[in-house]
């Protein structure tokens, strides 16, 4: 998706969700900045949004996997539908 990321990950009980999300956001922001920013430093800029959403999957893991796989199609269809519903 161009403006957000869906992930299905398993976190061992000894780690908190906020610790793992913070780690992922921090490391990926550094990676992207180093790979695409070259020598420029983007100090003070934010790569990720401040918040995040987390939900447990339990026994419905396959449903969540299917949702993530099909999300791009659903988002594109709703974006196209919005073209005709907006009043300018």
In a domain, 70, yes or no: yes
**8: closest CA among 50, 47, 66?**
66
In a domain, 11, yes or no: no
Q: How many domains does the chain have?
A: 1
How much is the average pLDDT of 50-77?
A: 76
In a domain, 21, yes or no: yes
In a domain, 3, yes or no: no
pTM, two decimals, is 0.59
Residues tagged active-site: 67
Q: Is the pLDDT of residue 59 over 80?
A: no
Give every CB contact of residue 57 below 8 A, 6+ residues apart in sequence.
Answer: 8, 63, 64
Judge whether 42 and 51 are in contact, CB under 8 Å: no
- Residue 64 sits in which domain range? 17-85
**25: closest CA among 2, 42, 8, 49?**
49
In a domain, 35, yes or no: yes
In a domain, 81, yes or no: yes
**28: closest CA among 13, 7, 14, 10?**
7
Output the pLDDT for position 15: 93
Q: Is the pLDDT of residue 30 over 70?
A: yes
In a domain, 48, yes or no: yes
In a domain, 61, yes or no: yes
């Amino acid at each position: 998706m161009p403006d957000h990321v869906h992930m299905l990950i398993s976190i061992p009980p000894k780690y908190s969700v906020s610790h793992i999300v913070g780690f992922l956001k921090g490391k990926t922001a550094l990676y992207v900045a180093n790979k695409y920013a070259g020598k420029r430093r983007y100090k003070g800029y934010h790569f990720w949004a401040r918040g995040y959403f987390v939900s447990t999957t339990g026994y419905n893991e396959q449903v969540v996997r299917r949702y993530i796989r099909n999300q791009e199609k659903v988002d594109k269809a709703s974006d196209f539908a919005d073209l005709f519903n907006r009043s300018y």
